[in-house]
Amino acid sequence: MKNLWAPWRIEYILGQDKPPGCIFCPWPEENLAERLVLFSGRLTRVMMNKFPYNNGHLLISPLRHVPYLEDLTPEELLDLQFKLRHAMRILRETMRPDGFNIGLNVGTVAGAGVESHLHWHLVPRWLGDTNYIPVFAEVRVIPEHFRQTYERLAPHFQALADEDVPCATSS
């Protein structure tokens, strides 16, 4: 019998490591690396998912605490899309995925784990990354510790500029 070692999952299973407040909102005196935040700009934040579906699973959210897409200003929406595009480019360069799953879950019934703060999931995918283990054992195999992935991605996101987004005007 082979063992699947994933010690960081116990935090999720036991539910004892849940911080107070919103995981996406800036905290006073926060340690960005400890929180797995790769980029925090004027309007948008990019962070790693501590309980990923796959290696390199990123969460992209507005800094402002809003639950719905229609709550975003045109500038926030555009900035989020620019950061999503940059994050995909960085993941392509550093992890070489064959594709991506990009998702936005709105509401608990749609799968939103943090319903009150809108966020996109960006999940890199590789040919053959799905196998029998999730089907039979309800276990995902994540081959790299999320701290190692963070260290690999962080320099690329530190170089990411908080560019001025052209204002979108309504017609």
Q: List, by residue number, the catalytic residues.
A: 119
- In a 3-state reduction of DSSP, which class is residue 16? coil
Contacts of 112 (CB under 8 A, 6+ apart): 105, 106
Contacts of 139 (CB under 8 A, 6+ apart): 4, 133
Polymer length of the chain: 171
Which amino acid is present at 57?
Answer: H
Query: Nearest 10 degrees: CA dihedral of 44, 79, 81, 129?
Result: -30
How far is the C-alpha of 108 from the C-alpha of 61, rounded, in Å? 17
How far is the C-alpha of 167 from the C-alpha of 163, rounded, in Å? 12
